[in-house]
Amino acid sequence: MTETTTLPWHEIVLARLKANGVKLIVYVPDRVLTVLIKALHADSYFTVFAATREEEAIGIVTGALMGGLRGAVLMQTSGFATLPNALASLVVPSQIPALMFVSERGTLGEFNLGQAMVCRTMRPVLDALGVENHTITRDDELEFIIDRSIKQAYATKAPVAFILSPLLTGGKVFAS
């Protein structure tokens, strides 16, 4: 894996999605994820589009999985906070291996109190639902965590959330 550790984080994520046959990407936009979203749009392997809301994106990816197409949802921390009902009443009980990539806001230099409060709800919700989740802070661990966890998700028919820390992505910097 050493040969990929020099790649930017978003290229590592894209490569692991492709290597695992994850073709459908539905997102609600986020500034930090923009580099990944752009790269996915530019690669014809992927079907990539925006949903109006995160639970809508989860519904689309759930339907696609049931139809035989692997998919992932990209969102930011505040968007994750809209998901508990869809996770608790659809994804988890139906055993849907939905992949969630969450750009972490609310910590390590957050300037918006609302984001900071929402951030505190994210891991307790995931843990309460028993959803596997990994906070990724280092690019030399990124490929291993994502690749292994995607394979685990499909093998065990369980969702997984990847929380992309500002330590990995640089985060969103206070404008003024």
Signed CA dihedral, 85, 89, 93, 95: sign only? negative
Sole window of 50-58, 114-122, 135-143, 164-172 interacting with other proteins (rule: CB under 8 A): 50-58
> Residue type for 131, please?
V
At closest approach, how far in Å is the CB of 91 from other proteins?
Answer: 8
At closest approach, how far in Å is the CB of 168 from other proteins?
Answer: 29
Sole window of 64-72, 101-109, 117-125, 138-146 interacting with other proteins (rule: CB under 8 A): 64-72
Residue 156 in the binding site for other proteins (CB under 8 A):
no
Q: 43-67 b/e with 16+ CB inside 10 Å = b?
A: eeebebeebeebbbbbbbbbebbee
Question: Count residues contacting other proteins (CB under 8 A)?
Answer: 34
The span from the CA of 120 to the CA of 2, in Å, is: 34
Signed CA dihedral, 79, 80, 85, 86: sign only? positive
Residue 19 in the binding site for other proteins (CB under 8 A):
no
> Are 142 and 12 spatial neighbours (Cβ–Cβ below 8 Å)?
yes
**Contacts with 72 (C-beta within 8 Å, 6 or more apart), sequence order:** 17, 22, 24, 25, 26, 61, 98, 99, 100, 101
Residue 47 in the binding site for other proteins (CB under 8 A):
yes
Per-residue contact string for residues 113-152; x = within reach of other proteins by CB under 8 A: ----------------------------------------
Residue 85 in the binding site for other proteins (CB under 8 A):
yes
**Residues in the site for other proteins, rule: CB under 8 A?**
24, 47, 49-53, 55-71, 85-86, 88-90, 93-96, 154
